[in-house]
Every structure is written in structure tokens, then in C-alpha cells.
Amino acid sequence: MSDIIHVTENILEKTMPVYDQFAAIYQRGPYLQFSKSLAESILPEYLEELGIKPQKWLDIACGEGSLAVRMAERGYHMTGIDQSPQMIDLAMGRAAIADVEVEFRVEDMRSLPFEGAFDLVTCFFDSLNYMLTVRDLQDAFTGAYRALRTGGFYIFDMNTIYGLAVDWMRQETYIQNETDDFLELHQQSFDYENLIASMHVTVFKKEGEHWTRFDETHRERGYAIADIQFLLNEAGFEIAGMYGSLNKRSPVQTTSSRVWFAARKPE
């Protein structure tokens, strides 16, 4: 591709925006299927099982707003926050098209401004793995706890160490998405000392007569499940459920790629 005219690189650090350039092409990939399956059946069924009917719901790391908008269409009062202004712009556009009211804000999950405002807080699609230090994860849990009313629930998922170190590495380089005018490549590696997986995304996009390119590196840290439990308890939560699959309510196994938690703020 000799006519590539633009190259940028954004290496993710804990103080930098996530999905800075990637937000623009996020909706072209398979990523939205995750929130679609959650919104259509998995999450409503689990909320019913827990016996909760949240009046006010905060979705942290809401991305382009697909989950928040779908739940708003079901009648929930939704607020969505994300660190990426680009993602929030997409989310606002999605809500406008769906003709639903959702409050979208640019916020950092480590320093949430809310105090006892929500009945339910969620954070999905391994967004918490972007917390690269224990302090970051602790701050995220504390912020979620503070945002909840007493008796409220915090539901989230995280990639396990096994998921990042083994499942992610089964295919270190692959094509994620390809069309006549678009190509998305992923290259992955794992730092065993720091338990951090790196996913380097390279995107080629045809614009008129030329191709443009951008690169981003996304880093996710794996945490021992016992450490996640400890930090939740330190934040004040009671753990109400822990699963290897939220859909099947199956227990966590040593080979589980993902872990799901439901934590409750005590009365």
C-alpha cells in the first residue's frame, strides 16, 4: 500500500484516553454483538433473578452507547460515562437516532463524581482490565461503591489471567475485519512478569484515492480472582455472585477466560 498518507501511533498509558482513534471504526467490527446479547436477554434475566428493578442505572465505560441506548429503549433511566470523548460523541449520536434520552458524560472511572445516585452500576467488556495498577482498580471499585445507593448492585466482567495469557495468545496476529475499503489487523503479546496483555491494532482505511493508516496499542492487566474479591471487600462491597459465564451462571474454572461479578452495597 504505497499510497498510505498518514500514520499515527497512540500507546495507551493509564493517563491517556482509550479508543482515541479506534472509536471511529469501532462500530465496523464485531464488538457490538457483546452488548447486544447482554441487553436482549442475559442482563434482563439476571436482574430479574436478583430481584432488582433499577430506577437509575450508570453504565461505566459505556463506549459508543449501545448497551445504554438499548436499556433506555426498555424504559430504564440511563447514564453512560466513558473516558473517550470520541466514544461519547458516538453514543450521543446513537441515542439521537434511537430517539431516547440518555445522559452521556466524559468521565474517568477512577474519579467518578457521583454520590449515592444509582441503584445499579455496570462496567462490561473487560473495561476494568484497562486499570493497569492495583491502585487504579481500587479507585474504580471505590468510585462505583460511592455512586451506588445502599442496597444497590455493581455488575461487571473482567478477562482472567488465563484469558489474557492463554486464550488471547492462541492467535497472536490475525485479521479482525476486512472489506474492500477497510482492513483491521490485531497483534497480541503478553508480559508474564506484569500480567499485562498488549493488543496492537493497525487499521487501513481507504479515503478517496488513498489509504490512511493508524495504530493504537491497548493494554489490559489480568488480576487474580482472589485479589479482585479482596479489593471489592475493601471498597465495602458484599459479593453476591461470581461466574465463569453470566449466561449459564456457571462457576469460575481455572480455564475461564472471563469472570463476572455481582457485588452489593450493604444496607
pLDDT computed for residue 214 by the predictor = 86
Please provide the CATH number assigned to the domain covering 9-16+163-221.
2.20.25.110
Long-range CB pairs of 71-77 (<8 Å, 24+ gap) are 71/39, 71/43, 72/98, 72/100, 72/101, 72/102, 73/98, 73/100, 74/39, 74/44
Spans of the chain, pLDDT less than 70: 1-31
∠ CA 126-108-221, rounded to 5° = 35
pLDDT computed for residue 31 by the predictor = 66
pLDDT computed for residue 27 by the predictor = 66
Dihedral sign, Cα of residue 244, residue 257, residue 264, residue 155:
negative
Helix, strand counts (H, E) of the chain: 8, 12
pLDDT computed for residue 28 by the predictor = 64
**Are residues 5 and 211 in contact, defined by beta-carbon separation less than 8 angstroms?**
yes
pLDDT computed for residue 8 by the predictor = 30
Unique residue bearing C-alpha cell 436478583:
50
pLDDT computed for residue 16 by the predictor = 39
Rg (CA), the chain: 19
Domains of the chain: which residue ranges?
A: 9-16+163-221, 32-160+223-264
pLDDT computed for residue 231 by the predictor = 99
Q: pLDDT per residue over 18-28, tens digit each?
A: 556 666 666 66
* Fold topology of 32-160+223-264: Rossmann fold (3.40.50)
* 226 burial type by CB count under 10 A (0-12 exposed, 13-18 middle, 19+ buried): exposed
